Structure 1
Amino acid sequence: LTDVARDVQYYAEVEIGSNMQKFRLDLDTGSSDLWVADITCKTRRRRFIKANSTTFKPVVGKFQISYGDGSAVKGFFGQDRVNVGGLVIEDQVIGLATAQSMSFSNDVIDGILGLGFNSISCMPGTLTPMDNMIKQNLIQSPIFSVWLGRSTEGGGGEYRFGSYDPERIDGELTWCPVTVKRYWQIKCDGLFFGDVDLQLASDVIVDTGTTLVIVPTDVAKAI
């Protein structure tokens, strides 16, 4: 992963198509869809030229996605080969954006690869990249792991599909059940700021596409 603006954002370089067109994608656990800009999209970012890929297939349908920060993207479907860190997914349905919010055009990323559950996909009836990795037997176990490096310690980071790196874990690995299979939503028993108990016990979402830790107003004031 590449660390942007001192831990504000991280992206991975992903290749799409037979000619391996390169895109900087935000690997986002808070959404479930994969999209990049189509060649017809007005953007400063990289665009997918489907005519240059011999493995591209058109797919009937259109999509529109709105994100929590107010940004949005819309376009049509396609299907092609996707290479994520050496794992080559065949016939992955992707969104090809024909229009997007200005914030995407001004960003360093070219699109988003969602790692959430299929139930929140804006492309109904399709398999997410993670689902396809499992179905196509590309990974050993149906898991992925993420490590986000701090810029003060060299930055960078990594996603591992099908495994995790024990060297990145300080202590024992802890498992939490997912409470609702939409986002990566787990039960938080409590939140401490130093030694202060902030009295927060609720479901929380682990979202790698969100820069900030978002909490209720009273908890934020206490911090």
Structure 2
Amino acid sequence: MFANFKVLYAIALALSFATSNAAAVPGFQKRENGAIKLDFNIERPDKLILNGNFTKRADDYNYALINEGSYYVAEILVGSNQQAVKVDVDTGSSDLWVVDTSSGISGTYGVYDHTTSSTFSRIASGFAVAYADQSHAEGDWVSDTIQLGGTGGPSLKNQEFGDATTSTINFGILGIGFPINEATADKYQNVPQSLVSQGYIHKNAYSLYLDSSDAAQGSVLFGGIDHAKYSGSLVSNPVVSQNDLDLNVNSVTTNGQTIDIGSNYVLDSGTTINYLDPTVLANLASALGAKYSSSGFYYFDSASDAKDISVNFDGVSVTIPASYTVGAFYDGDGNALTETGFLFLPQTNYHILGDVFLRNAYVVYDLDARTISLAQAKFTSDENITVIS
């Protein structure tokens, strides 16, 4: 029935935001010729609510969060009349899509009225995406002018994207992953590719900087690297998946112990916590002295019991401070399950290093070279940008 329906497991989105973090969305900034900096607001959920459908059988580790964010909200202008729409920047998917006014959705994130744009063109029906938390959107494939970051940003002519006439989500997505992961059999130039082909950047590559745990903003730097934002050296590793931005993780080290992993993990800005293989997670929790709850997660008696965790790749390690690994979990009714949950959950179906990891890494995604470069993030407002060529 849905020939072009593609389940993109790499992000799980929610219907509510932490309103205390809402703010005016920052825009684009040009940095050197061939580098475009797109700032975004970081919006966090009020509560990390665990999926009430979790099955507690020992061999069924498919726990997920219902309200998964953090979200990285950037503004784009759509159409000849520059309609302001806010989208979540996501490395775990590849399509841009926006919410159409015909969906009946309204609110602070904006909607797109294609009937008012003289540069609009309908391409085909059959746009459909679904995410791991069962949220979804459907509509048409269209093209129009897209301007990144609001007024003054790079303007992409005839950019293809999804126009969602039905959606369970009140905002769109700016997916910047591999084009092969687009939710259509007829592949097209997604936004990073269009930035190259329309002359704004030299290479399909970008750097992600999420800043510290209490920061209100982060940025994606298309076509450039900000050398002020990391310590040590950037070390490249090959992407090990044809579709997703996966790296091989060798091991994790904590509390004087190293736990072997030797498997692939997606580095995904659309996921808050880390999802580990259940056996790896059990060994890690044991090394930390974390306890197992009958509700299916690990926790500490006290937040002070948590320890730093280093994630080890070939040639580089990124350390997650202990304070980043602990947080509260809630059930579907909003009741606290624990105030000191371990922000790593078991998953058999997919393995992800999300916001908990990425906040501590400076990450350069080179989609042309199929490499990801990593270094320990440095939290600073200083800049030292060079162009990727």
What TM-score comes out, normalization by structure 2 length?
0.53
Given residue 16 of structure 1, which amino acid in structure 2 is its aligned partner?
V
1:13 counterpart (72, 75, 86): 75
What displacement does 1:215 show?
Answer: 0.6
Whether the aligned pair in 2 keeps the contact of 1:33 and 1:115 (CA below 8 Å) is: yes
Residue of structure 2 in register with 1:143 after alignment = 205
Residue of structure 1 in register with 2:91 after alignment = 29
Q: Flag the 1:120–1:138 CA change in 2: closer, same or farther, 3 A.
A: same
1:68 counterpart (107, 132, 146): 132
2:246 counterpart (177, 181, 185): 185
Residue of structure 2 in register with 1:119 after alignment = 180
1:170 counterpart (231, 234, 251): 231
Q: Does 1:219 align with 2:283?
A: no
What displacement does 1:5 show?
Answer: 2.3
Secondary structure of the 2:202 match is coil
What displacement does 1:133 show?
Answer: 1.4
- Runs of 4+ more than 4 Å apart: none
Q: Flag the 1:195–1:22 CA change in 2: closer, same or farther, 3 A.
A: farther
What displacement does 1:219 show?
Answer: 2.8
Deviations 1:92-130 (A, max 9, x none): 1111111112xx13xxxx200111111111132322111
Q: Flag the 1:197–1:63 CA change in 2: closer, same or farther, 3 A.
A: same
Deviations 1:66-87 (A, max 9, x none): 1122211111111011112322
Secondary structure of the 1:127 match is coil
Q: Flag the 1:81–1:195 CA change in 2: closer, same or farther, 3 A.
A: farther
Q: Point out the structure with max Rg over C-alpha.
A: 2
Q: Does 1:210 align with 2:271?
A: yes
What displacement does 1:166 show?
Answer: 0.8
Distance in 2 (alpha carbons) for counterparts of 1:63 and 1:175: 35
What displacement does 1:51 show?
Answer: 2.0
Distance in 2 (alpha carbons) for counterparts of 1:22 and 1:156: 19
Residue of structure 2 in register with 1:2 after alignment = 41
Secondary structure of the 1:26 match is strand
Q: Does 1:90 align with 2:157?
A: yes
Q: Flag the 1:3–1:194 CA change in 2: closer, same or farther, 3 A.
A: farther
Query: Where do 5+ consecutive residues of structure 1 fail to align?
Result: none
Q: Flag the 1:132–1:217 CA change in 2: closer, same or farther, 3 A.
A: same
Residue of structure 2 in register with 1:57 after alignment = 121
Given residue 62 of structure 1, which amino acid in structure 2 is its aligned partner?
G
Distance in 1 (alpha carbons) for counterparts of 2:87 and 2:249: 29
Distance in 2 (alpha carbons) for counterparts of 1:33 and 1:193: 37
Secondary structure of the 2:103 match is coil
Query: Where do 5+ consecutive residues of structure 2 fail to align?
Result: 1-39, 46-68, 286-389
Secondary structure of the 1:174 match is strand
Whether the aligned pair in 1 keeps the contact of 2:122 and 2:140 (CA below 8 Å) is: no
Given residue 188 of structure 1, which amino acid in structure 2 is its aligned partner?
V
Distance in 1 (alpha carbons) for counterparts of 2:102 and 2:242: 35
What displacement does 1:195 show?
Answer: 3.3
TM-align CA RMSD: 1.7
Whether the aligned pair in 1 keeps the contact of 2:202 and 2:223 (CA below 8 Å) is: yes
Whether the aligned pair in 2 keeps the contact of 1:146 and 1:158 (CA below 8 Å) is: yes
Secondary structure of the 1:201 match is strand
Given residue 116 of structure 1, which amino acid in structure 2 is its aligned partner?
G
Secondary structure of the 1:51 match is helix
Deviations 1:7-50 (A, max 9, x none): 82221111111221111111111111111111110223421011
Distance in 2 (alpha carbons) for counterparts of 1:211 and 1:58: 34
Residue of structure 1 in register with 2:218 after alignment = 157
Secondary structure of the 1:32 match is coil
Whether the aligned pair in 1 keeps the contact of 2:70 and 2:270 (CA below 8 Å) is: no
When the two structures are aligned, how many residues end up with a matched partner?
216
Distance in 2 (alpha carbons) for counterparts of 1:180 and 1:87: 30
Distance in 1 (alpha carbons) for counterparts of 2:198 and 2:209: 25
